[in-house]
Amino acid sequence: MDKQKLIETLSVQSVSGDDKLMVEFLTKELTEIGCEFYHNQEDGNIYVTKGEADPFPCIVAHMDTVHKIVEDLTVLRVGEKLTGFNRVRMEQTGIGGDDKVGIFIALDCLRSFDNIKAVFFCDEEVGCFGSYEADMDFFDDVGFVLQCDRNGNKDFIHNAGGTPLSSKQFKKAAHKIMKDYGYKFEHGMMTDVMALKESGLECSCANMSCGYYNPHSYREYVDMDDVENCLDMVKEMFTKMGGNYYRHQYTKPKQKDYYPMHQSYKPVAQSSFMKEHNEKISGRLSRSLWDADGDWDGYDYNGYKKGKETFDDAQYCDCCLERAKEVVYFSQYNMDICKKCIAEHEIYTSKIV
């Protein structure tokens, strides 16, 4: 694995609503690789085709992160771990492993395989805008889709938010490979492959842990050993499973009264919780509403209200979007949630990871 290229990718700053630096970086990388690609100005996504195949394996990632663009972002290496550091403010800051690690893995696959497709989506963190608006015709000749957009190092997501993502045939073939890398099937949360499935994707897809930790916080870090393990697994899947169609049709979730995030957890909240959160986010972060300063109606790029408090950037509640003196990270939701919202939505505090 090219660790310097991973560091270079993590050094590119991008936030929902402002991904121009990442678009420039990807344009440069894809040109050097020799791929055919185009940046669709209507949906904001970058579509990539390399070689010829029927079907193509496909990998996707999203270009935005939740972290504000800062004056200085330095990738600090401690052993085999990477974190963000702001030399101007002399403090740790979000590195954006979610989902710049996924971008790194996708680019490495594009370098390694002669016949492959990829898509880099915009604005996943604020409601999967890019993937919900994606050109679905692009996937007509795709056999299966992989995404690396999950914290940790062992989750292979075959069901997102109650939405089945893949067929039994796909899971059987994937399991023969993933078990050797320490991965196991799990339920996950909303991300681009879920949006593609709901938009009519007719092949199997999956999301997987790729080695970033403490996402959406200033404490975020990336473990390069775990990144390499995920990358090796993805490459083996493309090598052994590529060339096959793994058909799978979208079916509506069977359980509508809760948001099942993880097989080993009880239902942790009512679906109205996520519905309210997503509506709040999407309403505040419509890309057409930014003003010249990159703000809109008193909110910053992350959708949080501006205030006079001086809490750390991570001290926001991803549910009510207000500043909070204390938040708790829930891996089931990949969110920091304040005590008030925990009580209001009856989230099980005993299930915190």
Report the CATH number at residue 163.
3.40.630.10
Residues 237 and 275 in one domain: no
pTM of the entire predicted model:
0.76
Contacts of 55 (CB under 8 A, 6+ apart): 141, 142, 143, 203, 243, 244, 245
Extended beta strands in 237-345, E state: 327-330, 335-338
Q: Is residue 264 part of a domain?
A: no
Give the residue ranges of DSSP H helices in the chain. 3-10, 20-33, 97-112, 129-132, 168-178, 192-198, 224-241, 271-284, 339-344
Q: Residues 275, 280, 282, 284: what is their CA dihedral angle, to the nearest 10 degrees?
A: 180
User: What's the domain range around 307?
Assistant: 271-351
Residues 20 and 99 in one domain: yes
What is the rounded distance in angstroms from the CA atom of residue 300 to the CA atom of residue 261? 28
Residues 208 and 322 in one domain: no
Q: What is the pLDDT of residue 344?
A: 74
Residue 150 above 50 pLDDT? yes
Give the chain's domain count: 2
Residues 45 and 174 in one domain: yes
Task: Express each pLDDT in 224-242 by its tens digit.
Answer: 999 999 999 999 999 999 9
Q: How confident is the model at residue 121 (pLDDT cuts 50, 70, 90)?
A: very high
Residue 119 above 60 pLDDT? yes
Q: Is residue 262 part of a domain?
A: no
Q: Is residue 324 part of a domain?
A: yes
Q: Is residue 250 part of a domain?
A: no
Residue 79 above 50 pLDDT? yes
Residues 287 and 345 in one domain: yes
Residues 61 and 192 in one domain: yes
Q: How confident is the model at residue 70 (pLDDT cuts 50, 70, 90)?
A: confident
Residues 202 and 296 in one domain: no
Residues 233 and 308 in one domain: no
Q: Is residue 108 part of a domain?
A: yes
Looking at per-residue pLDDT, the higher value among 26 and 280 belongs to 26
Residues 232 and 275 in one domain: no
Residues 235 and 305 in one domain: no
Q: Is residue 106 part of a domain?
A: yes
Q: Is residue 265 part of a domain?
A: no
Q: Which helix (H) or strand (E) holds 83?
A: strand 81-86
Q: What is the pLDDT of residue 345?
A: 67
DSSP string, 26-67: HHHHHHHHT-EEEE-TTT--EEEEES--SSEEEEEEE---SS
Q: What is the pLDDT of residue 216?
A: 87
Residues 27 and 138 in one domain: yes
Q: If you average pLDDT over residues 310-317, what whole number do you get?
A: 52
Task: Express each pLDDT in 7-47 by its tens digit.
Answer: 999 999 999 999 999 999 999 999 999 999 999 999 999 99
Phi and psi at 175, nearest 5°, equal -65, -35
Q: Which helix (H) or strand (E) holds 92?
A: strand 91-93
Residue 129 above 70 pLDDT? yes
- 262: exposed, middle or buried (C-beta count within 10 Å: 0-12, 13-18, 19+)? middle
Q: How confident is the model at residue 352 (pLDDT cuts 50, 70, 90)?
A: very low
Looking at per-residue pLDDT, the higher value among 133 and 266 belongs to 133
- Please state, rounded to an integer, the average pLDDT across all residues of the chain: 82
Q: Is residue 325 part of a domain?
A: yes
Residues 230 and 156 in one domain: yes
Q: If you average pLDDT over residues 314-320, what whole number do you get?
A: 65
